[in-house]
């Protein structure tokens, strides 16, 4: 089973700003560069009617938006609280849960449903009702014989949908899908597939594996063909973070190390908070840079295990100095810090601890 909260951030804002209900709602991530600069995190269905989409620059959304549109600044802390409660609720209704993002989860209900589609449907309806009762939110749920089909099924009817694709129906369902609707196929892969005249999942399922491997690499090619046949054996399993990062935008593009470090220092407390909450040690420190051409670059260094965030900062400075001496003609637009190679010390008991 796959559950997706409908336009989650927008719905969450409508909960605490009832006057926004019935109006287009847009959730913005302001970068702080200028008054209005930034991107759209999400929008409600009314705003989507005007062509406003996630990822779009705020300026563009403002041009598209009708007069009565309400713009909110994204508030992760608030959304996380709600998300945690929803996930806890789901946790009680399934055998295993895999939280895929703040607003999405896969649930294995094989045992809870006794392997019966009818019972799985009953569980889904119960979940939808509970989420609505407790949180005032609607969601869309897909049920299928595996994660891939469940995920694709959850997209069939939204918002507030419930779609069941049984094992018997799965073949038909996937055959009638387009390649681009298969989870994991993004713009780059799609254009490669299109250049090979592959548009439907059916085309992909019948594609020449060797030719596909040449163009996509062995791993991707095999995975895509499996998916195009509706096959997905990946288990529903709890996700454990392998990396924690935080990134921010500089006031203006710069090469000045002190102003870049200053921005890193702003980001540090939040990262530290998450580190402490999870009680993890890290071994690898990376800086993430987005240059003025919007290209992402990373530099990393491994050290001996530590939980000391200030150690991370001094490694970051070192990496940054090296980066600036290597990359003589780039300006830095955005800077971030990531820690990986994590070891968990504390026993994690509930989902809420993650």
Partner DNA sequence: CGACGTGTAAC
Partner DNA sequence: CCTTTTACACGTCG
Residues labelled as active-site residues: 104
DSSP 62: H
Which of 284, 307, 331, 354 is the binder for DNA (CB under 7 A)?
284
Q: Is 23 in the site for DNA (CB under 7 A)?
A: no
CA nearest to 15, candidates 78, 66, 68: 78
Which of these ranges, 9-17, 57-65, 251-259, 305-313, lies near DNA under the rule CB under 7 A?
57-65
Tell me, by CB under 7 A, how many residues bind DNA: 62
Alpha carbon distance, N-terminus to C-terminus of the chain: 21
Give the C-alpha separation, 150 to 106, whole Å: 8
Q: Is 55 in the site for DNA (CB under 7 A)?
A: yes
Residue from 60, 254, 259, 306 binding DNA (CB under 7 A)? 60
Q: Which of 21, 85, 283, 317 binds DNA (CB under 7 A)?
A: 283
Nearest Cα residue to 41 out of 66, 19, 12, 20: 12
**What is the Cα–Cα distance from 160 to 291, expressed in whole angstroms?**
40
From CA 247, how far away is CA 267, in angstroms rounded? 7
Residue 177 found at the interface with DNA (CB under 7 A)? no
Q: Any idea what DSSP says for residue 297?
A: E
Q: Say whether residue 306 binds DNA (CB under 7 A).
A: no
Nearer to DNA, 125 or 296 (CB): 296
What are phi and psi for residue 279, nearest 5 degrees?
55, 55
Contact flags string 97-126 toward DNA, x per CB under 7 A: ---xxxxx----------------------
- By CB under 7 A, residue 249 contacts DNA: yes
**Quick one: which segment of 80-88, 160-168, 225-233, 330-338 binds DNA (CB under 7 A)?**
330-338
13, 69, 256 from 27: Cα distances, Å = 9, 11, 32
Residue in 287, 292, 296 with CA at minimum distance from that of residue 254 = 292
- To DNA, the closest distance from the beta carbon of 155 in angstroms equals 8
Choosing from 226, 248, 324, 330, the residue that interacts with DNA (CB under 7 A) is 248
Q: Is 46 in the site for DNA (CB under 7 A)?
A: no
Q: What gap in Å lies between CA 80 and CA 42, rounded to an integer?
A: 15
Phi then psi dihedrals of residue 334, to 5 deg: -135, 150
Helix 309-326 and helix 257-278, axial crossing angle in degrees, nearest 10? 140
Binding string, residues 71-100; x marks residues near DNA by CB under 7 A: -----------------------------x
Interface contacts to DNA, rule CB under 7 A? 29, 31, 33-34, 36-39, 41, 54-55, 57-60, 100-104, 183-190, 217-220, 239-249, 270, 274, 283-284, 286, 290, 294-302, 334, 336, 338, 341
């Amino acid at each position: 089973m796959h559950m997706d909260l409908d336009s989650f951030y927008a719905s969450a804002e409508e909960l605490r700003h009832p006057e926004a209900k019935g109006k287009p709602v847009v959730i913005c991530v302001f970068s702080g560069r200028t008054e209005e600069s930034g991107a759209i995190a999400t929008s409600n269905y009314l705003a989507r009617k005007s062509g406003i989409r996630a990822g779009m620059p705020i300026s563009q959304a403002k041009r598209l938006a009708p007069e009565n549109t309400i713009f909110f600044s994204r508030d992760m802390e608030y959304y996380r609280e709600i998300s945690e409660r929803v996930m806890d609720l789901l946790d009680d209704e399934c055998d295993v849960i895999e939280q895929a993002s703040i607003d999405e989860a896969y649930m294995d209900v094989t045992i809870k449903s006794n392997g019966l589609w009818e019972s799985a449907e009953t569980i889904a309806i119960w979940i939808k009702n509970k989420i609505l009762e407790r949180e005032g939110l609607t969601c869309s749920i897909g049920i299928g014989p595996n994660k891939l089909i469940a995920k694709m099924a959850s997209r069939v009817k939204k918002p507030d949908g419930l779609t069941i694709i049984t094992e018997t129906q799965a073949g038909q369902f996937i055959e009638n899908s387009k390649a681009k609707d298969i989870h994991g196929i993004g713009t780059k892969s799609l254009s490669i597939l299109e250049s090979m005249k592959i548009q439907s999942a059916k085309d992909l399922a019948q594609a020449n594996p060797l030719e596909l491997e040449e163009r996509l690499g062995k791993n991707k090619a095999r995975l895509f063909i499996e998916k195009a046949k509706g096959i997905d054996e990946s288990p529903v399993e709890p996700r454990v973070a392998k990396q924690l990062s935080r990134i921010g935008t500089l006031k203006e593009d710069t090469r000045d190390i002190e102003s870049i470090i200053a921005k890193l220092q702003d980001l540090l407390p939040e990262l530290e908070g998450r580190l402490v909450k999870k009680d993890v040690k890290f071994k690898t420190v990376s800086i993430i840079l987005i240059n003025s051409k919007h290209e992402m670059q990373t530099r990393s260094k491994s050290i001996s295990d530590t939980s000391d965030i200030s150690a991370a900062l001094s490694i970051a400075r070192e990496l940054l100095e090296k980066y600036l001496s290597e990359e003589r003609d780039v300006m830095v637009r955005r800077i971030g810090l990531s820690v990986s190679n994590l070891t968990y010390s504390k026993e994690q008991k509930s989902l809420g601890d993650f």
